[in-house]
């Protein structure tokens, strides 16, 4: 029986896990990473790098806002700019070793969270939940691309 609260519960779950992960990251020396940075890291880790325009489009921000974010992440050592392979006017942004290390820690803490959830509801139920969520995303993607990005 539908209750209408599932989207809110999913958002709260995401927020609770991200808050925990960021506490762990801070304790491990990544105290300068904000949750919003994770959306850029996620995109860069799956795309192999991007221009400021591509990152802006993904995040749903202006090119100027993306450049500011890139500047901030570069200053902190998480990304680097390098020449674009085919466009001499453009620059590619990619993750540095520190950026990849941060992602590795996020993945490790995410795996830990899933293990805790399996302990709470059972591994079989967690697999069912994961498979159901995959179907929800596939269904939504039939209408428009589904991007993991902040809701500004």
Kindly report, residue by residue over 67-96, the tens digit of the pLDDT.
999 999 999 999 999 999 898 898 999 999
The secondary structure element, H or E, covering residue 94 is: strand 91-95
User: What does the pLDDT look like over 98-132, one tens digit per residue?
Assistant: 999 999 999 999 999 999 999 999 999 999 999 99
Give CA–CA dist 69/120, Å, rounded: 38
148 pLDDT above the threshold of 90: no
User: What does the pLDDT look like over 4-44, one tens digit per residue?
Assistant: 899 899 999 999 999 999 999 999 999 999 888 999 999 99
- Asked if residue 92 lies in contact with residue 100, where contact means CB atoms within 8 angstroms, the answer is no
- Going by the DSSP 8-state scheme, the letter that residue 4 receives in this structure is S
Rounded to two decimals, the pTM is: 0.88
Residue 30, phi then psi, degrees to nearest 5: -105, 45
Cα→Cα distances 87→40, 49, 91, 141, Å: 22, 14, 8, 31
What local confidence, expressed as pLDDT, does residue 1 receive? 64
Cα→Cα distances 125→16, 17, 121, Å: 20, 19, 6
150 vs 120, higher pLDDT: 120
pLDDT tier at 134, thresholds 50, 70, 90? very high
54 vs 4, higher pLDDT: 54
3 pLDDT above the threshold of 90: no
- 6-141 belongs to CATH 1.10.10.10: yes
How would you classify residue 77: left for phi > 0, otherwise alpha for psi between -120 and 50, otherwise beta? Answer: left
43 vs 151, higher pLDDT: 43
Give CA–CA dist 111/126, Å, rounded: 12
What local confidence, expressed as pLDDT, does residue 152 receive? 56
What residue spans define the domains of the chain? 6-141
């Amino acid at each position: 029986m539908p209750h209408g609260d599932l989207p809110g519960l999913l958002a709260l779950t995401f927020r609770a896990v991200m808050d925990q992960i960021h506490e762990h990251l801070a304790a491990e020396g990544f105290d300068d990473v904000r949750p919003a940075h994770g959306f850029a890291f996620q995109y860069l880790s799956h795309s192999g790098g991007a221009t400021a325009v591509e990152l802006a489009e993904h995040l749903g921000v202006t090119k100027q806002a993306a450049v500011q974010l890139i500047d901030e992440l570069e200053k902190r050592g998480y990304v680097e700019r390098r020449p674009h392979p085919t466009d001499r006017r453009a620059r590619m942004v990619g993750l540095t070793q520190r950026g990849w290390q941060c992602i590795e820690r996020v993945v490790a803490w995410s795996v830990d969270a899933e293990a805790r959830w399996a302990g709470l509801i059972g591994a079989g139920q967690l697999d069912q939940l994961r498979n159901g969520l995959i179907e929800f995303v596939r269904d939504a993607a039939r209408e428009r691309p589904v991007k993991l990005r902040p809701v500004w």
